[in-house]
Amino acid sequence: MLMNSADRPAMLFYQHNGFRVLSPGNHVVCAVSGETVALEALRYWSVDRQEAYAGPREATARSLGQA
């Protein structure tokens, strides 16, 4: 079975004002919860850690060292 870019996670380079797609896909995986996040819904990430978060709760937990 062949996978197209819609069936796999994207690899992104996170920047302060957005992100650049390095490898095509339609989602990323939250570094804290493991939840799948559609690229069009992605609003939280860490430039320093180069990782994505499902939402503000996960981003805050990671920044406070609670995850």
Residues 47-61: pLDDT tens digits?
999 999 999 999 999
Q: Which domain holds residue 37?
A: 5-63
Who wins on pLDDT, 15 or 3?
A: 15
Q: Tell me, what's the pLDDT at 51?
A: 98
Alpha-carbon separation of residue 61 from 4, 7, 18, 24, 66 (angstroms): 33, 28, 21, 28, 5
Residue 14 binned pLDDT confidence (cut-offs 50, 70, 90): very high
Residue 12 binned pLDDT confidence (cut-offs 50, 70, 90): very high
In the chain, how many domains are there? 1
Element at 58 (helix H, strand E): helix 56-63
Quick one: what percent of the chain has pLDDT higher than 70?
Answer: 91
Instruction: Supply the pTM of this predicted model.
Output: 0.87
